[in-house]
Chains A and B, each alone.
Chain A
Amino acid sequence: MKRKIKALICALALILPVVSLTACKGASDNTLVLRVANCEEYIDLGDWDEDEVISLPDEEDIFGEDSMISDFEEWYEDTYGIKVKVEYSTYGTNEELYNQMSLGNTFDLVCPSEYMIMKLMEEGRLEPYSQDFFDESDENNYYIKGVSPYIRDVFDSLEEGGESVRDYAAGYMWGTMGIVYEPTELSEEDVSHWSILLDKDHARRITMKDAVRDSYFVGLSILRARQSATGSPASDVKSEKELSDLLNDTSQETVDQVEEILSDMRLNAYSLETDSGKADMVSGKVIANMQWSGDAVYTMDQADEDDVRLCYSVPEECSNLWFDGWSMLKKGLSEDSGKKHAAQAFVNFISRPDNVIRNMYYIGYTSAISGGDDQRIFKYLEDCYGAEDGDESAEYDLSYFFGGDDAAGEYVLDADPDQLTRQLYAAYPTREVLSRCSVMKPFDPDANRRISQMWINVRCVDIFTKH
């Protein structure tokens, strides 16, 4: 018996190194390995049906045959003559990514949300983009040539510890937070206030998000609206900075007040959901659902297929401007300039207008890239949301996004009028909507503890006080 065990151990000891050697073999010598971590279902994985080809006037067809990742590997080798292997992994939430990193997983390039980018910046974990990346004369620098002037301004103005976010993150997808609603049950006026979520007339027919940051933001927005003389905090303040301060308040007093609002909201809600809200909207179980703009587009698309018409609203008081961006991690790159080059090239590759369109089509979110001189992304919008020839149309001005402040009136879409409260409005909000939006910053550790406890209290059963 003993001898057998010994033999087994010896055999294992012999096999293991061989297995690990063969595992490493694929990535030896001159092949560069780039470890990319992204949200689940957040990039085009190819394999489109034949009839899904996107044909734009005067442009080449766009089609996702292979995944964006293998297309990048091919492109990188063709362009720079270096073999690269992308090890692609996914995570569910920003917290999960952060936790994976704490547990020792190393990545070179990740795609967290704005607050997580700022948190990682503060912890000194991010590698800044190099000067070359911002050189607009390089034809392969699709990111800097194509990033929307609006998004560029947002990135320039956001700071963490005296450093600008633009140096540490490249925008990927962005949007607002709002309410998807059933227009035959609720009017536009009803859903123009966050307080619709507290409305007893619609008790148990509205869902809220099981996400602490987003719910806190909504609770705080309702609180600010109550405190405001005009009912609209965005119109009270004089500057964006003031609005940002108002919506990033995490003092104990504020947290306590938000707790009360959210407790009421939970009792009024159909459920706290993370994913089921989309299906429940389509099936008609709920008539309004707090939602991120990208998921809102997806929900409306799904509903359209079932001949249910849903709309999207960004409440008047204020909303959250969110974005996800690509950031490089110091620990992963470990000063390997080749890797850094590949990581930056990856960002550039997925920022190439045809790839942007592929990603937008595949995942339904709105890219931070407008395309610069390349008109394809705007044409894609016309293709998706433009009015049919001869039909009634409405002007929808997106110059702020595609051209910047100097380009007033240059990018006006002749949109299908129905789209002004629907997919187009969710995917590309108007400048006016964005003027009342604010970016939500990371909570400091104390605030985080306060707000986590607040969120647990909200969901716990309250049997001692009567509501």
Chain B
Amino acid sequence: MKLERRYLAIPYVIFLVVFVVLPLIVVTYYAFTNGEGQPTISNFVTFFTNARTIGTFLYSLFVAVVTTLVCLLLAYPAAYILAKGYFAGKGGMLLLVVMPMWINFTLRLTALKELLDMIEGNLAMYPFLNTIIGQTYDFLPFMILPIYNSLTRMDHSLLEAAEDLGAGKASVLIKVMLPLSMPGIISGVTMVFLPSMTNYVVLDMLYNSTFIMGSLIGSYFSSYDWHNGSMVAATLLLLIVLITYIAEGGSSASGERRG
């Protein structure tokens, strides 16, 4: 029986090896070699000594931070309302949140573009605003769902206990509810922060020609410069590992495993 169950993992292991492990090896190889196949770190040196590429890196970080904050500010109250069931039939409300995810995101963006176009007149005038709107639009459900999950799973007697012991509404929120929903927040943040640093398709589709890290990788690859493209990808990967590691730390500190 035990043996049988292990076989069930085979398809996924194959998938992992072919589409995750092998590409990772290829990326690492290319990142540390030059056009002649010689090992080198010059790709990294070029990247970190060029004011323009560093500028793009910082700008992407900034975009990601703002997107994450906006998503968080929008998602938390929404998730709270959903979890509390203020509306009759919260299943219906949840459906409204999840529904956009059923529609292909390029289609949604095409619609968003037309909408923004109508409101703003000329999209190109507000590149930063559009970037944030586009990214938020794309990633908001990824923030709402984990927070909603952690809020519904929360033990409500703890909130009541805090109130009984004399805590005001604000202190209940800050001192009890927020810490308890931390795992949800962290998992939401990791799902929004990193993709929004690289999700350049959103920007391309909104035509604002803003260059973020993803666009940088894309343009290296489209000029067949595998080495520099891989270098940027590897750098971002390192960042992902780092942030996930920190987030995991924060998550287990608050006493619950993520997911």
Contact = CB atoms under 8 A, between A and B. Distances in A.
A associates with B? yes
Interface of A: 1, 95, 98-99, 204-205, 212, 266, 269-273, 276, 280, 285, 452, 455-457, 459-465
Given A95-B224, A271-B207, A456-B220, A461 B125 contact: no
Contact of A269 (B53, B56, B209): B209
A99 B52 contact: no
Given A95-B224, A204-B124, A205-B122, A460 B207 contact: no
B124 A460 contact: no
A457 B50 contact: yes
A266 B208 CA distance: 10
Contact of A204 (B51, B122, B224): B122
B124 A270 contact: yes
B219 A456 contact: yes
A455 B58 CA distance: 19
B80 interface: no
B29 interface: no
Interface string B205-240: 001111100011001101111000000000000000
B137 interface: no
Contacts of B123: 270, 285
B92 interface: no
Residue in A271, A273, A457, A465 with the greatest tally of chain B CB atoms within 10 Å:
A271
Contacts of A460: 52-53, 55-56, 211, 216
Nearest to A95: B224
Contacts of B224: 95, 98-99
A285 B59 CA distance: 27
Residue in B56, B58, B216 with the greatest tally of chain A CB atoms within 10 Å:
B56
B209 A461 contact: no
B211 A95 contact: no
Residue in A99, A272, A280, A461 with the greatest tally of chain B CB atoms within 10 Å:
A461
Interface of B: 7, 50-53, 55-56, 58-59, 117, 122-125, 207-211, 215-216, 219-220, 222-225
Given A460-B56, A461-B56, A276 B207 contact: yes
Nearest to B219: A456
Contacts of A266: 209
B34 to A, nearest CB: 11
Contacts of B55: 460-464
A459 B223 contact: no
Contacts of A452: 223, 225
Nearest to A459: B211
Contacts of A462: 51-52, 55
Contacts of B56: 460-461
Contacts of A457: 50, 52-53
Nearest to B125: A204
A173 to B, nearest CB: 23
Given A456-B53, A460-B216, 19 more contacts: A98-B224, A204-B122, A205-B122, A266-B209, A270-B124, A272-B209, A280-B207, A285-B122, A452-B223, A456-B52, A459-B211, A459-B215, A459-B219, A460-B55, A461-B55, A461-B211, A462-B52, A463-B59, A464-B55
Nearest to B222: A95
B50 A461 contact: no
Residue in A95, A280, A456, A457 with the greatest tally of chain B CB atoms within 10 Å:
A456
Nearest to B210: A461
Nearest to B220: A456
Nearest to B211: A459
B94 to A, nearest CB: 36
Residue in A459, A464, A465 with the greatest tally of chain B CB atoms within 10 Å:
A459
Residue in B50, B52, B53 with the greatest tally of chain A CB atoms within 10 Å:
B52
Contacts of A459: 209, 211, 215, 219
Nearest to A456: B219
A464 to B, nearest CB: 5
Contacts of A212: 223
A465 B52 CA distance: 9
Contact of A463 (B58, B124, B125): B58
6 contacts: A95-B224, A270-B123, A270-B207, A273-B207, A461-B55, A463-B58
Contacts of A269: 124, 209
B213 to A, nearest CB: 10
B74 to A, nearest CB: 26
A454 to B, nearest CB: 10
B209 A456 contact: no
A227 B134 CA distance: 42
Nearest to B46: A453
Nearest to B55: A463
B118 to A, nearest CB: 12
A402 B117 CA distance: 46
B225 A271 contact: no
* Pairs A-B, 4 closest by C-beta atoms: A460-B52, A204-B124, A461-B59, A271-B207
B3 to A, nearest CB: 8
Contacts of A205: 122
Contacts of A270: 122-124, 207
A65 to B, nearest CB: 35
B47 to A, nearest CB: 10
A212 B224 CA distance: 13
A204 B220 CA distance: 26
Contacts of B219: 455-456, 459
B99 to A, nearest CB: 28
Given A205-B122, A459-B219, A460-B216, A271 B209 contact: yes
Contacts of A465: 51
A23 B120 CA distance: 56
Nearest to B124: A204
B247 to A, nearest CB: 27
Contacts of B223: 95, 212, 452, 455
Contacts of A455: 219, 223
